[in-house]
Amino acid sequence: MKRKVERMKKIREKKKKMRRAAAAAAAAVMLFGMAGCGGNSGLSEEELSIYDNTKIILHGLKETDIEVSVAELKAMESVTEKAEAKRSNGDKVSVKATGPLLDTLVKAYGGDTADFSTVRFRAGDGYSVAMTSGMIEDSDVIVSYYDNGAPHEPENGPVRIVVPGQRAMYWVRMLTQIDFETEASALTPESLILLDTALPELDDENIERNGAAMQAVRTSALISEYSDIDDNTVYNVYMTASDGLNKNETKENFLNNYIRTSGENSPEFTGPELPDGMTVNGLMKINYGSTAFLSMAQLYEKDGTATGEGVPFSALLKAVGNMTSDEYRITDAEGNSAGYTLEELSDAVFILNSDGSVTFDPAVFGGVKMEGVLRIDAQY
């Protein structure tokens, strides 16, 4: 009961921030909430009609946005599947979801999910998550309007994405919009910036998230300093954590948040208002246009990358998506730099020191060691 009250409070607070697109869903959430203690059965006629009239928006599928009501979803060929997934805290989420598959929904409007590289699901509380076309092809993405044969609990519905076999992260509650995107994937980087050196160079701020104070650097400050914040070709920003989690965020959402620099799991993509489940802790890599950012500290956390000597140059390249070139320039925080061929670098290692600084050791090639390595640029 207490949990329910807290959830209701959360919903009410978050409601304030809802965009207009979420207004219909919000109305249903509130109405259900008030009558909510009896669970999701026995809706009044009025409640049912609000539920059925709740609309989700399909954006990017056609020239103009399409609105689909729950009633229209119900009229489509639907599947019912039981599914279980684990939350990040280890708890289980289980549902018996009913609704059309995403493919069915898209086909109903003459589209094909295979035409898009990414599908992003957005919710009324500001939560969003993207699925790649590969994941969509390999899974049943259910646009569910029922759980267990009845409307979703208000904090989950009226529409919830359920993807059996995929992390609960993808099971977007309170769905308001689906974005169909065509950007291919992360670009091959031309520059690699080491976060271990770059972040301490920037001003950090004290931010508060869920009542906890933390130190963090604005993502916009990082990008302004080390990449091109005005690059209009950047659409999505790709992140990878040392535990293998891959996320991609819109540039807008990325630039409105922070990178936490204090605490065990830092660097962490976070922000005062970023919904739980959208933070990325143990952030190892960011691809922003043709700039890649890499955390050596997190690379050391990842199995099999660091040897006794350090991280081989090849492992560094692999971690950011193969920045292949014949020549590279390596630069330290003071701006001193040296150029090397790929061959010369084949036995070189990068060492994370206990103070968090990074040393470049050209090893057998016999070049000069460099302390405080900041960046590596491919010389195309």
Q: Rounded distance, CA 373 to CA 330, Å?
A: 7
- Min. distance of Cβ 7 from ligand MTE in angstroms? 9
Task: Name the residue with tokens 């302004």.
Answer: 224
Distance set, CA 190 to CA 186, 300, 302, 329, 358 (Å): 12, 23, 23, 11, 20
Q: Which is nearer to ligand MTE, 240 or 291 (CB)?
A: 240
Q: Rounded distance, CA 116 to CA 185, Å?
A: 11
Map the footprint of ligand MTE across residues 243-272, applying CB under 6 A. Answer: none
- Min. distance of Cβ 168 from ligand MTE in angstroms? 4
Nearest residue to ligand MTE, scored by beta-carbon proximity = 277
# of chain residues touching ligand MTE (CB under 6 A): 15
By CB under 6 A, name the one of 174, 207, 274, 351 that touches ligand MTE: 174
Task: Name the residue with tokens 């990842």.
Answer: 302
- Min. distance of Cβ 158 from ligand MTE in angstroms? 12
Q: Which is nearer to ligand MTE, 11 or 221 (CB)?
A: 11
Residue 322: both structure tokens together: 């193969």
Q: Which is nearer to Mo ion, 35 or 245 (CB)?
A: 245
By CB under 6 A, name the one of 149, 200, 244, 275 that touches ligand MTE: 275
By CB under 6 A, name the one of 66, 106, 130, 169 that touches ligand MTE: 169
- In contact, 157 and 174? CB cutoff 8 Å: yes
Q: Rounded distance, CA 88 to CA 86, Å?
A: 6
Q: Which is nearer to ligand MTE, 89 or 233 (CB)?
A: 89
Rounded (10°) angle between helices 2-15 and 23-34: 150
What is the gyration radius of the CA atoms in the chain, in angstroms?
23
Q: Rounded distance, CA 367 to CA 308, Å?
A: 20
Residue 73: both structure tokens together: 């979803």
- Min. distance of Cβ 302 from Mo ion in angstroms? 21
- Min. distance of Cβ 116 from ligand MTE in angstroms? 21
Q: Rounded distance, CA 357 to CA 296, Å?
A: 9
- Min. distance of Cβ 313 from ligand MTE in angstroms? 35
- Min. distance of Cβ 126 from Mo ion in angstroms? 15
- In contact, 310 and 239? CB cutoff 8 Å: no
Residues binding Mo ion (CB under 5 A):
87-88, 169, 277
By CB under 6 A, name the one of 44, 88, 262, 379 that touches ligand MTE: 88
Residue 171's binding partner among ligand MTE, Mo ion, none (Cβ under 5 to 8 angstroms by kind) is ligand MTE
Q: Rounded distance, CA 69 to CA 53, Å?
A: 5
Residue 6 interacts with ligand MTE (CB under 6 A): yes or no: no
Residue 135's binding partner among ligand MTE, Mo ion, none (Cβ under 5 to 8 angstroms by kind) is none
Pairing mode of beta strands 142-144, 160-162 = antiparallel
For ligand MTE, which stretch binds (CB under 6 A), given 109-117, 119-127, 259-267, 366-374? Answer: 119-127
Residue 143 interacts with ligand MTE (CB under 6 A): yes or no: no
Q: Is 285 exposed, middle or buried (0-12, 13-18, 19+ CB in 10 A)?
A: buried
Q: Rounded distance, CA 219 to CA 253, Å?
A: 10
Can you give the binding site for ligand MTE, defined by CB under 6 A? 87-88, 93, 123, 125, 127, 168-169, 171-174, 275-277
